[in-house]
Structure 1
Amino acid sequence: MEQRPRFITAEGFARIRAEYEQLFGTERPKLVETISWAAGNGDRSENGDYIYGRKRLREIDRRLGYLSKVMKNAKVVDPASQPDRDVIRFGATVELADEDDQRRTFTIVGDDEAEASAGRIAWGSPMARALVGARIGDERTVRLPAGEKSWEVVAITYPVRGSDV
């Protein structure tokens, strides 16, 4: 069964690859060494290094499987190549203002790289879905868990080609 592509920015893909390489190349081998040492100490039923090491190894292996699947299905999208920079699309950094003129800025990214506290929201989120296709000056109503809220698009920016953003 083929998975649908997972859209992601080059920066997000690099973060996922770095996490994979750190887990696979550094953390997992150290843990296997610790488990092997602990197993050689005899009774494994009360050996904390062995028991918790095996538990952590399962967690790492699950995470590696997930990251591997994400990278396999990833479709890297370069927001700098967006031809129509006046419309909100994947990779856009958007500044919004609500009816009280409170401003909010975020970037629309792939589901696997979203982190609201860092200003990155998933392109599949209700906020992003409501804003895709909007232009500066457009007002969009977003249905949030706390209720509906209207936002006006104040600015739309995309990374410049060749930048490290």
Structure 2
Amino acid sequence: MQTAAFVTCDLLDDHPELDIQVLTPSLDGKFFHSFGARKSFAGQIVTVKCFEDNSRVKELLATDGTGKVLVVDGGGSMRCALMGDMIAESAVKNHWNGVVIYGCVRDVDAIAELDLGVHALAAIPRKSNRQGIGEVGVSLYFGGVAFHNDDYLYADNNGIVVAQEKLVDC
């Protein structure tokens, strides 16, 4: 299993001159949890905005994700999962470093065994209803952080930070 060579606390301490954004730990009582086997991960951001429809998540994670992290704005919905074990397995197969979901996942025991970083708000067994709806490559905003395609995300058990430039090898 690959482990990123950084600690988010140290990234902030080592680069006080940079405008590094820090995801707020609590979003109206919602907290991000780590679900994947990879506890620290980083990469260039690819964004998708979707609400209770994981069509675009599935499509993107089936493409080459070398050096990338998918950031999903699911609107914080707690009614269905935007990623399960089969889509997570596709992400691993296609070399994604991680996925951050402002929403839910499912199949958490299987995801916990995969070499993939996964941060999401919660787990729920209900799958999403695929209708082919979602926007790719749009700017996202949640947790006090603006996520833009091509920015860099760094995540570990301390939290999630975003920078406009690459701070360590991803």
Task: Name the TM tier (shorter chain).
Answer: under 0.3
Structure with the larger RCO, 1 or 2 (CA within 8 Å, 6+ apart): 2
More strand by share: 2
More helix by share: 1
TM-score by length of 1: 0.24
TM-score by length of 2: 0.23
